[in-house]
Chain A
Amino acid sequence: DVKVTQSSRYLVKRTGEKVFLECVQDMDHENMFWYRQDPGLGLRLIYFSYDVKMKEKGDIPEGYSVSREKKERFSLILESASTNQTSMYLCASISGLSYNEQFFGPGTRLTVL
C-alpha cells in the first residue's frame, strides 16, 4: 500500500555539500510538494510542482532548487548545505482533479554538520 516514498529516512551531510532528496509517488498525482518541518513553525512550503518540468516557489525557496523530470518523481536539491537547513523534510502529493487531501511521505531527517 505504498503511496509516497522518500529516498532516505535519515541523512547526515557536511556544510557546503550538495544534497539530493528524492520523492516518488505511485498515485499518478499531478501536484507534488516539498515542505520542511521545524518545531513550533509548522510545515513550510519550499517548492511545489503542478506538472512535469513545472515548478513554483513556495514560502522559503532560498537555498533550494527542485527537479521534476517524470510525473512520479520530485527531487529537492540543496545546492550548498548549511547548518540552518537541518530539518525534517516532507514530500507530499495531491490529485490535480480533486485537490483533496495531501498524501505525505515518511520524511527525511537531514542533519547538516
Chain B
Amino acid sequence: EDQVTQSPEALRLQEGESSSLNCSYTVSGLRGLFWYRQDPGKGPEFLFTLYSAGEEKEKERLKATLTKKESFLHITAPKPEDSATYLCAVQATYNFNKFYFGSGTKLNVKP
C-alpha cells in the first residue's frame, strides 16, 4: 500500500538548535517528493521538489534530502519564524495527479 509517514509528530526546539524531520514513504513508483510548509489556518506553501535519490535542495535554513525510502528536512539554526507544520507528499509515476500526503510535523521554535 502506498503511504507516507512523517516523524516526529511534533518537535520543540530552542532557537539555534538544529534538527531534522523525517518523511518515509512506500510507493510503487516515485515521480517526485514534495515538502510544504503550512502556517496555522492557511494553505500549504511549496518548499521543495526532489526527484531522485541523492538529490538535495536548499532554501535559507532548510535543506531537503532524498533516499530511496525516505526524505529528511534539515533545519539549521532555526528561528521562531520557522515554527509551522511541515508536510511531505509523494507523487506516483502511475498517476501524476495522485499525491500521498503525510500528516505532518508540527515544529515549534522557542526564542
Contact = CB atoms under 8 A, between A and B. Distances in A.
A102 B99 contact: yes
A50 interface: yes
A40 B99 contact: no
Contact of A4 (B32, B43, B102): B43
Interface string B21-62: 000000000011010100001111110010000000000000
A99 B101 CA distance: 16
Interface residues on A, range: 20 to 34
A102 B44 CA distance: 9
Interface string B95-111: 01111011110000000
Interface string A32-52: 010100001111110010100
Name the prevailing secondary structure of the A interface residues: strand
Given A101-B34, A103-B46, 19 more contacts: A4-B43, A42-B87, A42-B104, A43-B44, A43-B87, A43-B89, A43-B101, A48-B97, A92-B43, A99-B91, A100-B49, A101-B49, A102-B34, A102-B99, A104-B36, A104-B43, A104-B45, A106-B43, A107-B42
A81 B99 CA distance: 26
Interface of B: 4, 31-32, 34, 36, 41-46, 49, 87, 89, 91, 96-99, 101-104
B97 A31 contact: yes
Nearest to B46: A101
